[in-house]
Amino acid sequence: MKKDIEFQYGDKVILQGEFRKGSEQRNVGGFDYQLYLKSISIYGTLNVENYQKISSNNVNRMERNINNIKLAVTKNIEKLLEEKEQQIVKGLILGDTTTLEETIKEKFQIANISHVLAVSGMHIIYIIIGIEMVLKKWLGRRNVKYVVMIGLLFYMSITGFTSSIVRAGIMGMMNLIAFLVYRKNDIWTSIAISLGIILIQNPYAITGVGLQLSYLGTIGIILFHKNVKQYLDNKKIIKKNIHIKQSKRISKITENLKDMVAVTISAQIMILPIMLYHFNMIGIYFILANILVSVIIAPIMFLSIIFIISSFIHLEIAKCISIFLSLGIKVLIQISNLANLPFSKIYIPTPSILSIIIYYIVILVSNQIYRIYTSKYLNCTKKRVKNVIALMKYKLYEKKKKTWEIYQKILRERNIQAFIERTYKGIFFIIFLIGICQFPKNLEIHFLDVGQGDACFIITPNHKTILIDGGGSTSSTFDVGKDTLTPYLLDKGYTSIDYVFISHFDQDHVGGILSVLEELQIDQIFISKQEEKNENYKKFLEFVKQKRLKVQELKARDTILIGDVTFHILWPIEKQIEENQLNNNAMVMKLQYKSFSMLFTGDIEEVAEKKILNLYNANLESLKATVLKVAHHGSRSSSTEAFIKAVNSKIAIIGVGENNMFGHPNDAVLERLQSIRYAGLQDG
C-alpha cells in the first residue's frame, strides 16, 4: 500500500480491498454493529489494500470554507485548552465526542447529563438568543430572524447534520418562519416535519439512540412540563416570616429552580424506558446533576462561543477568555463526578417491548386525567371523562364497603370458621401464584459469543444462576464484560449471579468476569489453586477484598451441589503441572443433571489430558459426558484422540473468535472430533 499520499477535503479516491458489512447482534442484548452503521448512513467497512487519488477539489467553495472553519475552530481549541477541557468543548460546540475519554463519557451518562455533549435544542436556543442580543437593535426585530436562520444553517453544517441538531434546527427555523408570516407555530407540526426530513434521508435513523432520546425528551417536556410545574407550584417552599424583599428574591430563585426541575422530570418521564432498554441503568442523582448543569451551562456556552470568535480575531484575547472557560469546564467535570457517589447507578433488567408500551399508555392516560381534573374550563368531552372516573371511583368504593360489611357481619355473628375459610382461600391463592413463578423449569445452558474466549451462562431448574468463565479482550476500546456479558445478563433479567466458576486466569477466560464483578452482585466464586499469580489474578484478589466476596478453592474429587445440578471437580490435583502452568492446571469439571452431563475443560493441553486419563483410569465412566466443551478453543496442543474417546460426547462445542490470529480451531482437531463422532454413530 502507498504511504506517501496526503488527502485533503474534497479529494476523490479509488479504494481496493475487502468489503465487510458490520456484524449483526451475536448475543441477546448484544450490540448490533450493522444496524448502528445503517443508522448513521454507512454501508460497511473496507479493509483497504490499495488506493489511488484521482482528483482534488470535488466540493463547492461553500462546503470547503465550512470545513476549513471547522478545522480552524478545532485547531484553536486544541492550542489554547488542556486535553480534557478541549475534549469537552469539542463535544459542547461541535458535537464531536470522538476524542472524549471513555471514563468521562461514562460519568456523564451515569449522572444523566450526557445530553450537554450532544448538540441539540439547548445549543440552538443559545445561538438564537446570542444573535438576537447582538444584532436586534441594528437590524430590527424582523430582519434579525433571517440572520438567525442563516446562522442556524451554518451551525448545522459545521456540526455534521446529526439527528439531534437537525431536529432542533428545523424546529427552531419553523418557529422563526411562523413569526415572519404572522402565524402561530405548531410544535407537533415542527416535530413531524423535522422527523420526516430525517427519515426520508435515512429511514434507519429511527433506530439510533440519540434520535430516540432527542425526540422523546422534547415530547416529554411538551406533554408533562405544565402539569409537573403546576404540581411543584402547589408545594409551599417560602416561609411566611421572611422579609418581603427577601421573599421576592427567594421566590424568583425558587421559580427558576422549579422550572429546571420540571423540565428535567418531564424529559426523564418520557425517555426512562428507552434509557433502561438501551443502557439498563438509572442514575439516582439525575435531578441534582441537571439542576447544577442548568445553572452552569449557559455561561459555559456563551464563553465557548466568545472564545471561538475571539480566537479568529486575536489568540491573546482568546487565551484570557479560556481561563474562565476552563474554570466552567472544571465545574462541569465536578458535577459529572456525582457518578462516583454510592448508589449513583442502579442496574435494571431490560424491559420488554410490551412493558414499554404499557408504561407509555399508563403515563399518557394519567397525564390526561390529571390535566382534566386540574383544568378550570371543561368542555363536554372532559366533563364526560370526569363523570366516568367519578362513577368508577364510586363503584369501587361501594364494592369495598360491601366487602367490609360482609366481614363485619361474619365477625358479629362470630362465625369464625367462615372467616378463617375466606382468609385461607386468599392465602392459598397468593401461595399458588408464587408457586407458579417458582415452579422448576428445565436446565438452561447458554454459550455466549465473546470472541476469542469462553463464557457459559447456566440457569438451573431451581432458578439458580451460574457463570462459567467470561471471555476477555486486549482491546482498549472494547470490554467484553461491560459491552457483552453485562448487557446479556441484564437482557436475560438478572442483576446478580449466584455462582461464578473461573477455570483459570488467562485473559480470554477471566477478563470479562473482572468487569462483571465490578458491575453486578456475585454471591459465591469458585476457583482452583493458583501457583502462577499473574496480573489478572492480582486484580481479582483486589476485587474480592474490596467487595468482600466469598471465594472457595476447589481441587480434584470435590463436589459442588446446586439444587438438582452437581458439579464434579476432576482437575487440578494438589501437585500441579509445571509445563504451561496456567493452562494445564485449569479447572476441569463435569456438570451432572439427571441423565445429562457436560464436561468443561478450560484450556488444558495434551500433558494435562494424559494425567487426567491416568488419574481416572480405573473409572473412565466419570469422564463420559453428553456434551464436551472442547479444550483450549480447539488448539492442536489439546483434544487428543484418547481423551475425546474417553469423553465419548454426542456434541462438542468450541469457543473461538471469528478469523482469530491463532488459527483456532485446528483442522486436525476438527477431523479427530468428526471421525470419532462418526465412528460412535456407526457403532451405535
pLDDT digits (tens, 9 = 90+) for 317-333: 888 998 998 999 999 99
Q: Is the pLDDT of residue 524 over 90?
A: yes
Q: Which of 115-129, 398-412, 432-446 has the lowest mean pLDDT?
A: 398-412
Query: What is the structure's pLDDT at 304?
Result: 86
Of 69, 64, 76, residue with least CA distance to 8: 64
pLDDT score at 449:
87
Average pLDDT over residues 608-625: 89
Terminal-to-terminal C-alpha distance of the chain: 56
Model pLDDT, residue 119: 74
Q: Which residue has the higher pLDDT, 247 or 233?
A: 233
Instruction: Give the type of residue at 441.
Output: K
188, 223, 372, 387, 393 from 364: Cα distances, Å = 16, 8, 12, 19, 20
512, 523, 516: which is closest to 471 by C-alpha? 512
Nearest to 303 by CA among 92, 132, 154, 79: 92
**Which residues fall within 8 angstroms of residue 528, CB to CB, at 6 or more apart?**
503, 504, 553, 554, 555, 572, 585, 586, 587
In the predicted structure, residue 416 carries a pLDDT above the cut 70:
no
| High-pLDDT (> 90) share of the chain, % | 17
The reported pLDDT for the residue numbered 498 is 94
pLDDT confidence tier of residue 590, bands split at 50, 70 and 90: very high
What pLDDT shows up at residue 678? 45
Longest dimension (CA), the chain: 101
**Is the distance from CB of 378 to CB of 386 less than 8 angstroms?**
yes
Greater model confidence, 66 or 419: 66
Separation of alpha carbons 259 and 262, rounded Å: 5
pLDDT of residue 407: 62
What's the pLDDT score for residue 566? 94
Place 158 in a pLDDT band, splitting at 50, 70 and 90: confident
pLDDT for 437 beyond 60: no
Band (pLDDT 50/70/90 cuts) for residue 682 is: very low
Most confident region among 126-140, 230-244, 506-520, 596-610 by mean pLDDT: 596-610
Q: What is the pLDDT of residues 348-401, one digit of tens each?
A: 888 989 999 999 999 998 888 888 777 777 777 767 777 777 777 777 777 666
* Contact yes or no for 638/605 (Cβ under 8 A): yes
Q: Which residue has the higher pLDDT, 560 or 511?
A: 560
For the ranges 239-243, 271-275, 276-280, 571-575, which has the lowest average pLDDT?
Answer: 239-243
CATH number for the domain whose boundaries are 444-683? 3.60.15.10
> What was the pLDDT predicted at 624?
92
pLDDT at 248: 67
436 vs 28, more confident: 28
Tell me which H or E stretch contains 49. strand 45-55
> Which CA distances in Å does 161 have to 95, 157, 207?
10, 6, 17
Residue 558: pLDDT band (50, 70, 90) is very high
pLDDT at position 7 over 50: yes
Length of the chain: 684
pLDDT for residue 446: 92
- The amino acid occupying position 262 is A
Residue 632 has pLDDT above 80, yes or no: yes
pTM of the model: 0.79
Pairing of the two strands 588-593 and 627-629: unpaired
Host H or E run for residue 457: strand 455-459
Range of lowest pLDDT (404-408, 437-441, 584-588): 437-441
Strands 565-571 and 588-593: antiparallel
Half-sphere exposure of 680 (CA within 13 A, CB side): 15
What integer pLDDT is reported at residue 296 of this predicted model?
85
Instruction: Output the pLDDT for position 414.
Output: 53
Q: Residue 470, SS3? A: strand
- Mean pLDDT for 499-505 is 92
Determine contact, residues 587/569, Cβ cutoff 8 Å: yes
Q: Which long-range contacts (CB under 8 A, 24 or more apart) does 240-248 make?
A: none
C-beta of residue 89 within 8 angstroms of C-beta of residue 81 = yes
Cβ atoms of residues 520 and 485 within 8 Å: no
| Lowest-pLDDT choice from 105-109, 413-417, 499-503 | 413-417
Average pLDDT, the chain: 83
pLDDT tens by residue, 478-490? 778 888 888 899 8
Quick check: 240 pLDDT over 60? Answer: no
Give the confidence band of 428 by pLDDT, cuts at 50, 70, 90: low
* pLDDT, tens digit (0-9, with 9 covering 90-100), for 52-89: 888 888 888 888 888 888 888 888 888 888 888 888 88
Helix (H) or strand (E) holding 570: strand 565-571
**What pLDDT was estimated at residue 22?**
81
Cβ–Cβ < 8 Å for 677, 652? yes
